[in-house]
């Protein structure tokens, strides 16, 4: 595979990851963290960049990808977990969130208040998802559309905004908010969940691997190598953009109080570039959200058409776009209410599953290790998710609160370690081998 192909696949991967949350959360983190910015952005990048690309790397190591990794716990767990992930980062959460943010930032600021109605959103989302459907029907062209055309334009637009901010904004950083006074790194770490990129990486893995395979690469080691190179390109770009947007947010704190990243960027773009800045920002949001929705729709189409052989890729893509279109008209506030509790539940399980995969040679695919680790983690991940929904779980809540790192939202870490230890002990003393047979040498 040519170096230029790797570059464009890296660009495509960047555009697939870079959606609504990737734009919204870094500037708000900058405002909130103030003088603790560098600690908080380091934590954010760890889960917002490092973890997604660890997922991609892990998926590239295993024939069958995320499904095979989940099978190491149990085939039923694998299917249920992966389906939930695809539905969540697809039609039921991330896709409508991106479409709605594209409307909020790309259309709403430019129309009269009287035109801002459910009918306008309906018409916009209909056009948006029609374009998504058309491009998603031909996934082999995605690298051309997104890697060679859309991503360079998107990056150039972001550079113009960020460079203007670095030149014109010179206010000192403010004191951090109460949430960032202590444990800024861990707060940024948790905020990185909101990008949803680690979950998206479970879905994007199949898209990236398919793009590389279409260039004649079939050897597992070469697949992993090219995936890693493309991921590095996308990861560096994402990190630079996050830091730049966060720095702009930190400088904007002196301009007033803000309750969201969208308001920060809207104010910053207008302050820096006048009316043209608002247009530029709307263009950035529309491109970023559109490319992410295309990537997620394609990933869902490829996964579910294989999971359900009777359903064609085209049928799945149509279903995903119709569901996304319907839910995007509920409004951003309603969509975001569901996202945080789900992410608090799903991310710990994903982190532990991928960590075990990266160190799999120590466990030799042991179902005892995978099962115990995910079981212990899952209990406290679910408790955390229910807690984020507002449920008080009584005694379980008390147990959660006394665990180490519970104050920073990482109460699942110790149970994960304990579960892994128990699983290793069971494997060591078990009379029957509990290894999962896998063939990873070639890609079928």
Check which CATH number belongs to the domain holding 227 and give it. 1.20.1740.10
Which two tokens mark 364? 């030799």
Q: Is residue 72 part of a domain?
A: yes
- Do 250 and 395 fall into the same domain? no
- Do 388 and 312 fall into the same domain? no
Burial degree of 213 (CB within 10 A; 0-12, 13-18, 19+) = middle
Query: Which domain covers residue 400, as residue numbers?
Result: 359-444
Q: Is residue 353 part of a domain?
A: no
- Do 197 and 314 fall into the same domain? yes
Residue finishing a domain among 277, 303, 337: 337
Residues 295/142, Cβ–Cβ less than 8 Å: yes
Rounded to whole angstroms, how far apart are CA atoms 210 and 191?
31
Q: Burial code of 179-198, b = ≥16 C-beta within 10 A, e = fewer?
A: ebeebbbbbbbbbbbbbbbb
Report the pLDDT value the prediction gives residue 2, as an integer from 0 to 100: 75
Q: Is residue 275 part of a domain?
A: yes
Q: Is residue 347 part of a domain?
A: no
- Do 428 and 318 fall into the same domain? no
- Does residue 437 have a pLDDT over 70? no
- Do 375 and 409 fall into the same domain? yes
Lowest mean pLDDT among 154-168, 225-239, 303-317, 398-412: 398-412
- Do 387 and 313 fall into the same domain? no
pTM score of the predicted model: 0.79
Number of domain units in the chain: 2
- Does residue 372 have a pLDDT over 90? yes
Residue finishing a domain among 337, 372, 406: 337
- Does residue 333 have a pLDDT over 70? no
- Do 296 and 257 fall into the same domain? yes
- Does residue 3 have a pLDDT over 50? yes
Report the pLDDT value the prediction gives residue 196, as an integer from 0 to 100: 80
């Amino acid at each position: 595979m040519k170096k230029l192909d790797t570059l464009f696949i890296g660009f495509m991967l960047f555009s697939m990851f870079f959606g609504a949350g990737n734009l919204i959360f870094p500037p708000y983190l900058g405002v909130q963290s103030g003088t603790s910015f560098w600690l908080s952005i380091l934590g954010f990048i760890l889960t917002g960049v490092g973890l997604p690309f660890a997922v991609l790397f892990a998926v590239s190591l295993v024939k069958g990808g995320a499904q095979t990794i989940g099978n190491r716990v149990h085939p039923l767990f694998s299917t249920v977990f992966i389906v939930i992930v695809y539905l969540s980062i697809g039609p039921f959460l991330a896709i409508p969130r991106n479409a709605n943010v594209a409307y909020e930032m790309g259309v709403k600021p430019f129309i009269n208040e009287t035109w801002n109605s459910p009918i306008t959103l309906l018409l916009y989302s209909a056009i948006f998802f029609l374009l998504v459907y058309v491009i998603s029907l031909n996934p082999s062209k995605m690298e051309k559309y997104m890697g060679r055309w859309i991503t360079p334009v998107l990056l150039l637009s972001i550079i113009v905004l960020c460079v203007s901010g670095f030149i014109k904004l010179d206010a000192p950083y403010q004191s951090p908010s109460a949430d960032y006074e202590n444990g800024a790194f861990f707060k940024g770490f948790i905020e990185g969940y909101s990008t949803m990129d680690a979950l998206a990486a479970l879905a994007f893995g199949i898209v990236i691997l398919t793009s590389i395979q279409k260039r004649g690469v079939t050897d597992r080691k070469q697949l992993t190598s090219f995936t890693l190179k493309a991921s590095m390109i996308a990861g560096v770009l994402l990190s630079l953009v996050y830091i730049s947007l966060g720095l702009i947010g930190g400088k904007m704190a002196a301009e007033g109080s803000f309750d969201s990243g969208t308001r920060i960027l809207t104010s910053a773009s207008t302050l820096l570039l006048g009316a043209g800045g608002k247009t530029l920002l709307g263009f950035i949001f529309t491109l970023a959200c559109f490319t992410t929705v295309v990537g997620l729709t394609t990933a869902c189409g490829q996964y579910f058409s294989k999971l359900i052989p009777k359903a064609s890729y085209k049928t799945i893509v149509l279903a995903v776009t119709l569901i996304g279109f319907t839910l995007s008209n509920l409004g951003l506030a309603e969509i975001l209410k569901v996202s945080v509790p789900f992410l608090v539940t799903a991310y710990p399980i994903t982190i532990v599953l991928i960590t075990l995969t990266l160190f799999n040679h120590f466990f030799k695919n042991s179902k005892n290790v995978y099962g115990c680790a995910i079981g212990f983690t899952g209990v406290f991940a679910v408790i955390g998710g229910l807690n984020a929904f507002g449920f008080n779980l009584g005694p379980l809540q008390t147990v959660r609160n006394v665990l180490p790192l519970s104050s920073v939202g990482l109460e699942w870490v110790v149970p994960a370690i304990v579960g892994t230890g128990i699983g290793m002990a069971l494997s060591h003393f078990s009379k029957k081998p509990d290894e999962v047979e896998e063939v990873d040498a070639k890609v079928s």
